[in-house]
Amino acid sequence: MELFELTAHELHAKLDRKETSAEEITKSVLTRISKVENSVSAFMSINIDEALAKARDIDGQIASGKPITQLTGIPIAIKDNLCTKGAITTASSKILQNYIPPYNATVVEKILQAGAISIGKTNLDEFAMGSSTENSAYKVTKNPWNLKTVPGGSSGGSAASIAADEAILAFGSDTGGSIRQPASFCGVVGLKPTYGRVSRYGLIAFASSLDQIGPITKDVTDAAIFLTAMAGHDPKDSTSVELPVPDYRRSLIDDVKGLKIGIVKELLGKGIDEAVKRSITEAADLLKKLGAKIEEISMPTFEYGVPTYYLLATAEASSNLERYDGVKYGHRSKEADDLLSMYYNTRREGFGPEVKRRIMLGTYALSAGYYDAYYLKAQKVRTLIKQDFDKAFAKFDVLISPTSPTVAFKIGEKVDDPLSMYLSDIATIPVNLAGIPAISIPCGFDNGLPVGLQIIGKAFSEETILRVAYTYEQNTEWHKQRAKL
């Protein structure tokens, strides 16, 4: 196998045994990018010179006897809504097309300190608003399994970079499913941690009470390694939680005997493709065969997840995006006669259609006379959804469901039908509303496109969902299959 095809833990073992070097690994990934990136369009920018320079520096440190971490010399892709010091960070929006942050996001700083090598910034739906990466102001990313289909979103660039072997690890962010849904579409692993488990400092905000950063990887072991490196309290983020960070690799046990697993009834009914249902049912049967106790559970508030999310998330977005006015940084319209016209034209020129749609919806929900009817009611329903999860976890260790109701759809198929696009996150949104962790892992195929299994846990139970995911992965071959480019 080529170096770019290996996982982070396999490359770490090779580095540790002096069987390869950080420079060789980096060159292998960059060569792969040069061959397939024109087809996939996963990246906004690629750091060729900087990556190679850091790789050589790391090799020098290793030669001098410096101990290596699990991430030393590992090429990592960074979603372009995470701030990177001295490098353009756009959130795939024209309004930030020339923005260069003066600081790194906390998670970026952590992985760079651990010796990881930034290979580039990945494409996304503008300001992380979308489920297909078709809403980027710059390019449409393609799914490596079928270049005529979407990679999911908003972390489509990151998921596609892993599926196409253009990076070893990738950062994603998840507001309503934006790590897990593209991981499902691209046949890779995507983990959304508990809200507060990972610092959001330096993440360009979409909806602050929902956003969470997490790993997109080739297998569950890499997800555990990457999460361990990025998690932890950060005084710069008032929502990050002061809890010790376990070494998540210790939870990678091939054993689910005695665990109680609930299958969410509402996510195997109307609107879920038959092939997807079949893959999830077969996954449940395997877990039962391996010793888990499987039972169906009803989560009646799930049907309200999508409307609740699109009131709360858009309300927060309308507030967060007020800062882009052409005054402090980013794009400023040249067509302005006074301050108000400068505001108006800057935002008209800088924001894309989906961002404008969500700002208008959120502003309406927060406006006088509608706040109680929409925003306040949505907050109450959010509480009910969380209570549904609390009741479920009083009985079950984890819940399972499809990650997405369908496999990847064709590029352009839903771009003019926002409601249909929004419904592609029906299985993932409730998890964000409750602030709990979930992981998507490959569990089958439909017409050559991957199907994702979602494993949901209670707050700060990442170790349990990783254990279940690892057990399933070790007893199947889905994660070993690769897109042919």
pLDDT in tens, 286-332: 999 999 999 999 999 999 999 999 999 999 999 999 999 999 889 99
pLDDT at 417: 80
Length of the chain, please?
Answer: 485
Q: In 3D, which of 225, 213, 243, 48 has the Cα closest to residue 128?
A: 213
User: Which band of pLDDT confidence, cut at 50, 70 and 90, is reported for residue 423?
Assistant: confident
Over residues 227-239, mean pLDDT:
98
The predicted pLDDT at position 418 comes to 78
Residues 140/146/148/151 CA torsion (nearest 10 deg): -30
| 3-class secondary-structure state, position 143 | strand
Domain assignment of residue 467, yes or no: yes
Residue 419: pLDDT over 80: no
Query: Which stretches of 144-195 are assigned E, i.e. beta strand?
Result: 169-174, 189-192
Q: Residue 484 has what pLDDT?
A: 92
Dist. CA 5–CA 301, nearest whole Å: 42
Give the pLDDT confidence of 260-292 residue by residue, as tens digits. Answer: 999 999 999 888 999 999 999 999 999 999 999
CA triplet 402, 127, 320: central angle to 5 degrees?
A: 110
**Mean pLDDT, to the nearest integer, of 219-229?**
98
Chain centroid, CA 259 distance in Å: 27
Q: Give CA–CA dist 294/287, Å, rounded.
A: 8
User: According to the model, what pLDDT value does residue 135 have?
Assistant: 96
Q: What is the mean pLDDT of residues 346-356?
A: 96
Q: How far is CA 218 from CA 95, 366, 381, in A?
A: 33, 41, 36
Q: Say which amino acid occupies 467.
A: R
Q: List the end-to-end C-alpha distance of the chain, in Å, as a whole number.
A: 15
Summarised one tens digit per residue, pLDDT across range 86-107 is 999 999 999 999 999 999 999 9
Residue whose C-alpha is closest to residue 418's, from 144, 208, 125, 139: 125
Percent of the chain predicted with pLDDT > 70: 100
How much of the chain exceeds pLDDT 90, in percent?
A: 95
Q: The CATH number of the domain where 20 resides is what? A: 3.90.1300.10
154 preceded by a cis bond (ω within 30 of 0)? yes
Residue 69 falls inside a structural domain: yes
pLDDT at 415 over 90: no
pLDDT at 39: 98
Which residues, listed in sequence order, are joined to residue 122 by a DSSP beta bridge? 43, 79
Across 133-163, b (16+ Cβ under 10 Å) vs e yields bbbbbeebbbbbbbeebbbbbbbbbbbbbbb
| Residues designated as active site | 79, 154, 178
Task: Give me the domain span that covers residue 101.
Answer: 3-259+436-480
Contact 125, 353 (CB under 8 A): no
In a domain, 291, yes or no: no
- Residue 171: both structure tokens together: 């950062």
* C-beta neighbour count of 423 within 10 angstroms: 17
In this predicted structure, what is the pLDDT of residue 282? 98
Question: Mean pLDDT of all residues in the chain?
Answer: 96
Position 447 confidence tier, pLDDT thresholds 50, 70, 90: very high
Whether residue 228 is predicted with pLDDT greater than 90 in this model: the reply is: yes
What would the pLDDT profile of 157-178 be if each residue is shown by its tens digit?
Answer: 999 999 999 999 999 999 999 9
* Beta strand pairing call for 260-264 and 398-402: parallel
Tell me the pairing of strands 189-192 and 398-402.
unpaired
Interval 385-411 mean pLDDT: 97
What predicted TM-score, i.e. pTM, was given to this entire model? 0.97
pLDDT of amino acid 145? 98
What's the number of CA atoms in the CB half-sphere (13 Å) around residue 279? Answer: 29
Answer for the pair 471, 254: CB distance below 8 angstroms, yes or no: yes
Give residue 369's pLDDT.
Answer: 87
**For residue 22, what are the contacts with CB-CB under 8 A and spacing of at least 6?**
15, 54, 55, 56, 58, 59, 62, 72, 73, 117
Burial class (CB in 10 A: 0-12, 13-18, 19+), 394: exposed
Mean pLDDT of 429-438: 98
d(CA 136, CA 156): 10
Residue 133 near residue 141, CB atoms below 8 Å: yes
Separation between Cα atoms, residue 204 and residue 350, nearest integer Å: 16
Establish if 63 belongs to a structural domain.
yes
| Residue 85 structure tokens | 């010091």
224 with 463: CB under 8 angstroms?
no
CA distance 482 to 162: 10
429 falls within a domain: no
Q: What is the mean pLDDT of residues 370-395?
A: 96
Output the pLDDT for position 374: 93
In a domain, 418, yes or no: no
Residue 193 neighbours by CB distance under 10 Å: 25
pLDDT of the residue at 18: 95
234 within a domain of the structure (yes/no): yes
If one counts the domains in the chain, the total is 1
How many Cβ atoms from other residues are within 10 Å of residue 246's Cβ? 15
d(CA 330, CA 343): 12
**324, part of any domain:** no
**Closest alpha carbon to 469 in 278, 288, 254:** 254
Confidence label for 422 from pLDDT (cuts 50, 70 and 90):
confident
Q: What is the pLDDT of residues 470-481, one digit of tens each?
A: 999 999 999 999
Give the pLDDT confidence score for residue 70 in this predicted structure.
98
User: Which candidate, 445, 429, 461, 452, places its Cα nearest to that of 210?
Assistant: 429
